A and B are shown apart, each in its own frame.
Chain A
């Protein structure tokens, strides 16, 4: 069972490297944005696998924290692509 989890951790890290290629060489900005969001998902899954490996509960809050931060970052980037500014002064004017 442990070798199975080690191999899946290796696969997750490999897919993270492939996503990093897409971040650096992505033809368009939305490609890079989706790749960054997917890197967040890969970080979450690697921490979940480490939680199983180390048999501890202390990493579970880290998973939720990375999920929240990745969500806010993705929303901020997509708003920047959509509108050109992140925090508006008055959205009705």
Chain B
């Protein structure tokens, strides 16, 4: 029997972007307030899981044509590279640098290298959790 889930699919097309924007917000809020790369990555995974629930595995793989294992690898490389690049300047591992920079659209903003590390954590969390869910859901 074919179930009629037009309401779920139509709502998902809107709610996906709301959850994704909230995850971006929580990722950038993580420097001074609760949040960060891990929670942001988990929320992005939640948004993609909602897509998987409303549609199916094949549609989502066509809509997001990434190999999520490579996303995990890029995230690990980014996090470790950020942590190790402080060794090039002869300062301890994981030392973080920051500066106030003038950006065209945002005005004077503080740029931290911890943000790049957090982006690496975000990519690792998204990649590994989506790989797990696709592997479990892909069993026939």
Which residues of A pack against B, CB within 8 Å?
A: 58, 61-62, 64-65, 68-69, 71-72, 75-76, 79, 82-83, 86-91
Q: Is B39 in the interface zone, CB < 8 Å from A?
A: yes
Partner of A90, one of B52, B53, B54, B58: B58
Min CB gap A91→B, angstroms: 4
- Contacting A at CB under 8 A, from B28-43, are 29, 33-35, 39, 43
Residue among A76, A82, A91 with max Cβ neighbours from chain B (10 Å)? A91
How many Å lie between the Cα of A89 and that of B137 in the bound state?
7
Structural contact, B53 and A68, CB atoms closer than 8 A: no
Structural contact, B58 and A75, CB atoms closer than 8 A: no
User: Which residue on B lies nearest to A59, using beta carbons?
Assistant: B34
How many Å lie between the Cα of A71 and that of B35 in the bound state?
20
Structural contact, A72 and B50, CB atoms closer than 8 A: yes
Structural contact, A72 and B53, CB atoms closer than 8 A: yes
Residue among B50, B133, B138 with max Cβ neighbours from chain A (10 Å)? B50
Min CB gap A51→B, angstroms: 13
- Contacting A at CB under 8 A, from B118-138, are 133, 136-138
Structural contact, B56 and A68, CB atoms closer than 8 A: no
Known: A58-B34, A86-B53, A86-B137. A65 touches B39 (CB 8 A): yes
Structural contact, B140 and A89, CB atoms closer than 8 A: yes
Q: Is B69 in the interface zone, CB < 8 Å from A?
A: no
How many Å lie between the Cα of A58 and that of B53 in the bound state?
31
Structural contact, B22 and A89, CB atoms closer than 8 A: no
Min CB gap A27→B, angstroms: 25
User: Which residue on A lies nearest to B29, using beta carbons?
Assistant: A61
- B55 surroundings in chain A (CB, below 8 A): 91
Structural contact, B26 and A89, CB atoms closer than 8 A: no
User: Which residue on A lies nearest to B18, using beta carbons?
Assistant: A68
Structural contact, B35 and A91, CB atoms closer than 8 A: no
Min CB gap A39→B, angstroms: 18
